[in-house]
Amino acid sequence: MIDIIVCVKQVLDPELPLSLFKINPEAKQVIPPRGRAPVLNPFDENALEAALKIKDTQEAKITVISMGSGLDEVILRETLAVGADDLIFLQDDAFKDVDSYSTAYVLATAIKKIGKYDLILCGRQAADTDAGQVGSAIAEILGIPSITLAGKIEVSNGKLKIQRVTEDGYEVIEVPMPALITAGYEIGNIREASFQATMEADTKEITTWSAQELGIDLSLLKRSNMLQLSIPAHEVTCQLIKGESPEEAGKNLAIKLRDDQKI
């Protein structure tokens, strides 16, 4: 029996069409789009799938934890439907907009409270902030090994064998348990839940812990100070350079570029 904890985050749908993405520059806030629910961070889905793949081959207990304020129960229950055993919300207004290290501190506190863990899985980064710091920070706080960018995880003889994806291939790393691993999309997409499992997940109890229940020292929760929030403006002007022949068009292009002092 191996105890796995998977940390997941809900994010604004990364596939949101541009025209629906609106911000309030004064308040430096993203305005949530009408009628669009958040989604599970896709990399966290990979992390959960990695846990489920381990559970496919051996006895395992998967506990999913999610931290924030205003957690979406419908979205997060899906983790139970696909095969997680427990779902714990770390929910408190104090957790709103805290920085990566503070998030790791809260998650690590909850992991300590859970107590039993052999493997902690996180997504390689969140699709909204793309910071990619929380996973390693949890490992740092817990004082356990951390392997990032896993493409494949195997458990054998109480050890973890990980294929870590690099730019031009992968390296194989072996670590003792407990350890923290961050997963990439190479793990594979999350599976679909059966109807039966979805129905069962709907009635399962969710545990919720507040900052107080976790014994969080609120003074340690930091927020990064945002200076400016803006949507990058994409301005494209297109000029067609003509010519009688391709050669002439090329020549005209070169002249134009020189005149515009681009070359």
Region near other proteins per CB under 8 A, out of 30-38, 95-103, 201-209, 214-222: 30-38
Q: Which residue in 244, 211, 229, 227 sits closest to 102, CA to CA?
A: 211
Provide the minimum distance between the beta carbon of 149 and other proteins in the complex, in angstroms, as a whole number: 24
Q: How far apart are CA 206 and CA 250, in angstroms?
A: 66
36 binds other proteins (CB under 8 A): yes
37 binds other proteins (CB under 8 A): yes
Q: How far apart are CA 142 and CA 235, in angstroms?
A: 47
- The binder of other proteins chosen from 129, 133, 136, 198 (CB under 8 A): 198
Tokens of 212: 């107080």
Is residue 147 a contact partner of residue 173, using CB atoms and an 8 Å limit? yes
* Closer residue to other proteins in complex, CB, 17/143: 17
189 binds other proteins (CB under 8 A): yes
CA dihedral (114, 187, 145, 40) in degrees, to 10, reads -40
34 binds other proteins (CB under 8 A): yes
- The binder of other proteins chosen from 33, 114, 152, 206 (CB under 8 A): 33
State how far the alpha carbon of 122 is from the alpha carbons of 20, 137, 147, in Å: 28, 11, 10
* Closer residue to other proteins in complex, CB, 16/226: 16
Is residue 50 a contact partner of residue 121, using CB atoms and an 8 Å limit? yes
Provide the minimum distance between the beta carbon of 37 and other proteins in the complex, in angstroms, as a whole number: 8
- What residue type is assigned to position 24 of the chain? N
53 binds other proteins (CB under 8 A): no
- What string marks each residue from 148 to 187 as x (binds other proteins by CB under 8 A) or -? ----------------------------------------
- The binder of other proteins chosen from 1, 17, 228, 245 (CB under 8 A): 17
| Residues β-bridged to residue 173 | 162
Cα 65 from chain centre: 13
* Binding positions for other proteins, rule: CB under 8 A: 13, 15, 17-20, 33-37, 39, 189, 191-199
